[in-house]
Homo-oligomer: A and B are copies of this chain.
Amino acid sequence: MALDLQQMGKAARQASRQFARVSTDQKNAALYAIADALDSHSAEILEINAADVEAGRANGLDAALLDRLSLKGRLAGIAEDVRAVAKLPDPIGEIFDVAEMSNGLHLRKQRTPLGVLGVIYEARPNVTVDVAALALKTSNAAILRGGKETLHSNIALIKVIQEALAGCGLPAEAIQFISDTDRKYIAELLRLYEYVDMIIPRGGAGLHKFCRENSNIPVITGGIGIVHMFVDESADLDAALPVIHNAKVQRPSVCNALDTLLVHQQVAQGFIPRVIEHLSASGVSFRLDPRAQQLVTPDGDRILPAGENDWDTEWMALILGIRVVDDLDQALEHIDQHSSWHSEAILTANENHAARFVAAVDSAAVFVNASTRFNDGGQFGLGAEIAVSTQKIHARGPMGLRELTSYKWVAHGDYHVRK
């Protein structure tokens, strides 16, 4: 049966209006109810998920993707994450920017829900629960569209969530799921301006571009990181090695992982061979610029000259580009040309260089003497994260609960008129 996105949007808008009147206690009770329901329904959810994984295997999905689909051994942790969201402070209703105007008008801002979120994501079914929890906590309704590989897992999770909401006297339509993976429904979701306030894509560059090109709703763009680290001549090189290792190796498939290492010429000769030795032990291979090539023994498989597009590539794998630069200025120039403005770092003992780097590099997060892997809602103390934005409007970098809110101005007067 064809889905009616207009009807889904209308129901989500209505639910969001009801949500705006729900208390913090009611929301938290619903979050605990969702977590408990995930626990008590775990057997059936895992059975359905196992079928999704099996179907994926039969369709030839690779091992890494199959691992991302699987909820096995993870469901209790996902329920615990929902309880963690319940424990976070409720941003809705927060008062800020309080002021009294010279005419005696009392002014404040008050944090409000955004309204309805449209969230489009790919493989991992845990996103379904994450998004539902973050939306509920911030009194936002949400329409979700997940990937086809986990369709049945997602439908099962949504059923549990909606039953828990209804059991707490909240509208089940607050969290809806597009249960048909035909891409035409993505296009329809992107045009629901009347009912949806923000589109959050979670996936690759293609998905983000598709959303931008086809939406009349503001789209939060992000998630793509061509990440640079500059090793200045004054860096503590012994301390730098584990930071580079962490940035590249800890989780190479994510957007804050290191792609290109820029090394100051003064330290390149001694340091680049050490980097290659240190990271090779973890299976990293390398793409070198001509000056870096002169410093190491070539190796047909693992140590290659950088190709034309390599500096513009988000590797998502155990591959690292290394380039020798004359100085900070040339490092900044390289970043200017190749960065996606997600996460960049400088390792230096020179405070002036650190300050110049921070001022000049216009990335969502800029690091001085720290791994780029810290660009993350949890690491930045947000408690939870719905996305990492690399655009300039609304929110930049990790988006937590507060970034899922708007505000209204509230003015109290004594029958004030404008002069």
Contact A381 B99 (CB under 8 A): yes
Q: Bound state CA distance, A110 and B236, in angstroms?
A: 26
B residues in contact with A105, CB < 8 Å:
370, 374, 379
What are the residues of chain B within 8 A of A411 when measuring CB–CB?
365-368, 370, 374, 380
Q: What copy number does this chain have within its complex?
A: 2
Give the chain B neighbours of A415 by CB distance below 8 A: 236, 239-240, 242-243, 347, 369-370
Q: Interface residue tally of chain A, by bracket?
A: 35 or more
Chain B residues within 8 Å of A213, by CB = 216
Interface of A is mostly: mixed
**A146 in the interface (beta carbon within 8 A):** no
Among listed A33-41, A53-61, A126-134, A392-400, interface-contacting one = A392-400
CA distance A359 to B115 in the complex (A): 14
| A414 to B371 alpha-carbon distance, docked (Å) | 10
Whether a CB of chain B sits under 8 angstroms from the CB of A267 is no
Given the known interface contacts A105-B370, A373-B418, the answer about A362 and B112 at a Cβ–Cβ threshold of 8 Å is yes
Q: Which residues of A contact B (CB under 8 A)?
A: 17, 20-21, 99, 101, 105, 107, 110, 112, 114-115, 193, 197-198, 212-213, 216, 218-219, 236, 239-240, 242-243, 245-246, 250, 336, 347, 354, 358-360, 362-371, 373-376, 379-381, 391-394, 396-398, 406-418
Besides A212-B216, A396-B408, 7 other A-B contacts (C-beta < 8 A): A112-B362, A198-B393, A213-B216, A218-B218, A366-B409, A369-B414, A373-B417
